Chains A and B, each alone.
Chain A
Amino acid sequence: MWKFTVRRLLIMIPQIIALSIVIFVLAQMMPGDALSGMIDPNVDPERLEELREKHGWNDPWYVQYADWVGGLMQGDLGQSFRFKMDVTELIGQRIVNSFWLSLATLLFTYLIAIPLGIISGRYNDTLLDQTITGYTYIGFATPLFIFGLVMLWVFGFMLGWFPTSGSVTPGLEAGTFEYFVSKVNHLILPALSMALITTVSTVQYLRNEIIDTKQRDFILTARAKGASESRVYNRHILRNSLLPIAAFFGFEITSLIGGTIFIENIFGYPGMGQLFLESITMRDYTVVTAVTLLFGIASIVGALLSDIILSLVDPRIRIK
């Protein structure tokens, strides 16, 4: 077990290095100085050349790369020329919002997936199962952004049940009860929209897993020795079927990253995805570089988590 985990951790190092090189190359292609943000990309080229010379950005690429990585290690992500502040600080403000949104989405995802998957698997081929399967089928085909728009239209604008943008009602004081309620209220609709779409694969997986387990010999044995139906399901089948779902957790993180860009944009939710899109439109490339790097690392860590959980669940993987 430890051997596998350590080896898997070691694989991460070249992955992160490769990611950082790609982002470094991309940053070099961006106009202005996308690594430290000390040069505004909107100034004219002649002045730019002067500034480049002054800040020493005509060094060979490996010196610049080393400087950049050195800065990253110390938590220095450069300067945002638009907000005139450290990118680290800027991201610090936004990442909290994205964290809550992701947490709420994950919560909804499992709150929806587990009951639906169990019902669908336990009573397979009944009308109820067919309804759930129909939902997963359509959910698979529906692009997240269309569903998000429809949710916002129906529940935000037509019914007016939820706020239509932002992460909190302006003017409320942090720490009060109203502030908390408003935060939660702003979270529900975006998180639910994302969860209803991303959950379908987990529902389907859980259903197939339960149907598969149902036909195993040990279930027959459990029934033969007189275990009650609820005990067969809760003790024997669920325990075996829920574990692979746990392994999906890491992949959920990866899919959340793509999803938040759309959802935060549609619901005007000030998180990392929104920051990314705003920055790229405003040509604030330092922020773009930093956010891409962070999201890249997050998806590498997500894959790592999946592999480790999988190896816990399924010992055969460890041997490889």
Chain B
Amino acid sequence: METNKGVVDEKALKAQKSPSGISIIWRELVKDKLAFGSLIFLVLISVFVYGTAIFLDQDEIVTVDLFSIHQPPSEEFWLGTDYGGRDIFGQLIIGTRNSLTIGVLVTLMTGIIGIVFGLVAGYYGGHVDNILMRILDFFLVLPFMMIVIVFVAIVPKYSVLTFSLIMTAFLWMGIARLIRSKALQEKELDYVQASKTLGSSNFKIMFTQVLPNLSSLIIVTMTLNLAANIGLESGLSFLGFGFPESTPSLGTLLGYARNPQTLEFRWWIWVPASVLILLLMLAIRNVGEALKRATDARQRRG
């Protein structure tokens, strides 16, 4: 009897315990039909793009074929060909994969730099904060687009990796500022004081105690950043300062439309890529907005 009672109590306790962050986020996502649909769309697109890309040979797709320049959509080329006779449909798949990959890569790298920078500045405060914030202010005043374009143009060994590093170097400030302001508030709370009294190291408090409390905020910001980064990458590729032509991205396909002839008469080259970028950005934003609501109890729907 005694043990049985204990079990019941534990069950009752479990029911009272507030739901975990992940389950709140999940509930909000399922409740919001638009966001849930967007999530499914994103998953399907990713699976399709990464799955098909295994069977597609990037080098074969980007090989110039002079006998089939600027073909309209047909049985052989579902979405026609570009000025080098390259299949647009294949480029679209590879391009989506490359755009997504670099978007995620840049988001993760800016996230890591931003989180560490923001946590250190906010947690220590005082002089450390002052110095770090001056560095951040300095990066903020640089004209992003131009500096990145200049770097891309003059870096000697230019590759996809250097491109994402260049983007990361000038994009980490937003998340750093956000994390810093939250860490400033968080460090005044009792649990941090208690942990200090118990003798935890600053490092431990920052990364194993304060950081988990900011996790939902970080997830939301990084989701919204992902959309922004894909937009920036495709913008740079559009201008011709992103991916090289041998590694097409969605922006590269749009870049062909800078030729007025292509813009006016060959819609199949640039319209599908535009629609795809737009859908991706909207879908990621929908998910991000739902996550944002989940982190704010007043706005929750679920």
Q: Could you show 20 A-B contacts with beta carbons less than 8 Å apart? A: A15-B138, A15-B141, A18-B138, A19-B142, A30-B154, A137-B285, A142-B281, A143-B231, A143-B234, A143-B281, A149-B263, A149-B274, A152-B263, A153-B264, A164-B260, A262-B238, A266-B258, A295-B146, A299-B141, A300-B141
Say yes or no: is A157 at the interface (Cβ < 8 Å to chain B): yes
> Given the complex, which residues of B lie within 8 Å of A276, measured CB to CB?
146, 149
Residue of B140, B227, B254 near A146 (CB, 8 A) is B254
Q: How far is the CA of A261 from the CA of B239 in the complex (A)?
A: 9
Say yes or no: is B136 at the interface (Cβ < 8 Å to chain A): no
Residue of A143, A152, A262, A296 near B143 (CB, 8 A) is A296
Say yes or no: is B125 at the interface (Cβ < 8 Å to chain A): no
* Chain B interface size, under 10 / 10 to 19 / 20 to 34 / 35 or more: 35 or more
Say yes or no: is B56 at the interface (Cβ < 8 Å to chain A): no
B142-187 at interface with A (beta carbon < 8 Å): 142-147, 149-151, 153-154
> Given the complex, which residues of B lie within 8 Å of A165, measured CB to CB?
260
Q: Is the CB of B231 within 8 A of A296?
A: no
Q: Is the CB of B141 within 8 A of A29?
A: no
> Given the complex, which residues of A lie within 8 Å of B146, measured CB to CB?
257, 261, 276, 291-292, 295-296
Q: How far is the CA of A164 from the CA of B259 in the complex (A)?
A: 12
Q: Identify the B interface with A (CB < 8 A).
A: 137-138, 140-147, 149-151, 153-154, 227, 231, 234-235, 238-240, 254, 257-258, 260, 263-264, 270, 274, 277-278, 281-282, 285
Q: Is the CB of B235 within 8 A of A143?
A: yes
> Given the complex, which residues of B lie within 8 Å of A145, measured CB to CB?
234-235, 238-239, 254
Say yes or no: is A138 at the interface (Cβ < 8 Å to chain B): yes
Q: Is the CB of A265 within 8 A of B239?
A: yes
Name the residue on A nearest B270 (C-beta).
A149
Q: Is the CB of B277 within 8 A of A146?
A: yes
Q: Given A141-B282, A152-B263, A288 and B141 touching (CB < 8 A)? A: no
A159-193 at interface with B (beta carbon < 8 Å): 164-165
CB distance from B99 to the nearest CB of A (A): 12
> Given the complex, which residues of B lie within 8 Å of A30, measured CB to CB?
154
Q: Is the CB of B142 within 8 A of A296?
A: yes
Q: Identify the A interface with B (CB < 8 A).
A: 15, 18-19, 22, 26, 29-31, 137-138, 140-146, 149-150, 152-153, 157, 164-165, 257-258, 261-262, 265-266, 276-277, 280-281, 288, 291-292, 295-296, 299-300, 303
Q: Is the CB of A292 within 8 A of B153?
A: no
Q: Is the CB of B263 within 8 A of A141?
A: no
Q: How far is the CA of A266 from the CA of B254 in the complex (A)?
A: 11
| Residues of B contacting A: mostly | helix
Q: Given A138-B282, A146-B274, A280 and B149 touching (CB < 8 A)? A: yes
CB distance from B147 to the nearest CB of A (A): 7
Q: How far is the CA of A292 from the CA of B227 in the complex (A)?
A: 27
Q: Is the CB of A149 within 8 A of B150?
A: no
Q: How far is the CA of A31 from the CA of B154 in the complex (A)?
A: 8
Name the residue on B nearest A18 (C-beta).
B138
By CB atoms of chain B within 10 A, which of A143, A153, A164, A299 has the most?
A143
> Given the complex, which residues of A lie within 8 Å of B278, measured CB to CB?
141-142, 146
Residue of B137, B151, B260 near A15 (CB, 8 A) is B137
User: What 8 A-B pairs have minimum CB-CB distances, sorted nearest first?
Assistant: A141-B281, A157-B264, A143-B231, A258-B145, A295-B143, A141-B282, A146-B274, A292-B146
Q: How far is the CA of A300 from the CA of B270 in the complex (A)?
A: 36
Name the residue on B nearest A11 (C-beta).
B137
> Given the complex, which residues of A lie within 8 Å of B238, measured CB to CB?
145, 262
Q: Given A145-B254, A261-B146, A292-B147, A150 and B274 touching (CB < 8 A)? A: yes
CB distance from A104 to the nearest CB of B (A): 20
Q: Given A153-B264, A257-B143, A288 and B234 touching (CB < 8 A)? A: no
Q: Is the CB of B254 within 8 A of A149?
A: yes
> Given the complex, which residues of A lie within 8 Å of B258, measured CB to CB?
265-266
CB distance from A254 to the nearest CB of B (A): 8
Q: How far is the CA of A262 from the CA of B143 in the complex (A)?
A: 14
Q: How far is the CA of A143 from the CA of B145 in the complex (A)?
A: 14
CB distance from A106 to the nearest CB of B (A): 18
CB distance from B223 to the nearest CB of A (A): 13
CB distance from B150 to the nearest CB of A (A): 6
> Given the complex, which residues of B lie within 8 Å of A15, measured CB to CB?
137-138, 141
Q: Is the CB of B239 within 8 A of A277?
A: yes
CB distance from A265 to the nearest CB of B (A): 6
